Amino acid sequence: MLIMGSPQATTPNTLEASTPETLKRVVEIVANQLATSIDSVNPHSKFQDLGADSLDQVVFNMLSKILH
């Protein structure tokens, strides 16, 4: 699950409830930031599986809080 926060986070996946446009944009941003293909990013992806380190996770968590 593409969840902002720690790898052990158990919060609901709010991306699945997002509009298709929002989801597409989030996928593009994550893929760009992690230098990975868009095809490898989806609402069920885990940041660690995409190659994110702890700093990437902090950045995404901060962005999530700013956007909400």
State pLDDT tens for residues 45-63. 888 899 999 999 898 888 8
The answer to whether residue 65 scores a pLDDT higher than 50 is: yes
How far lies 66's CA from each of 30, 31, 40, in Å?
A: 16, 19, 25
In contact, 34 and 56? CB cutoff 8 Å: yes
State pLDDT tens for residues 1-27. 454 444 444 445 555 567 888 888 888
In contact, 36 and 2? CB cutoff 8 Å: no
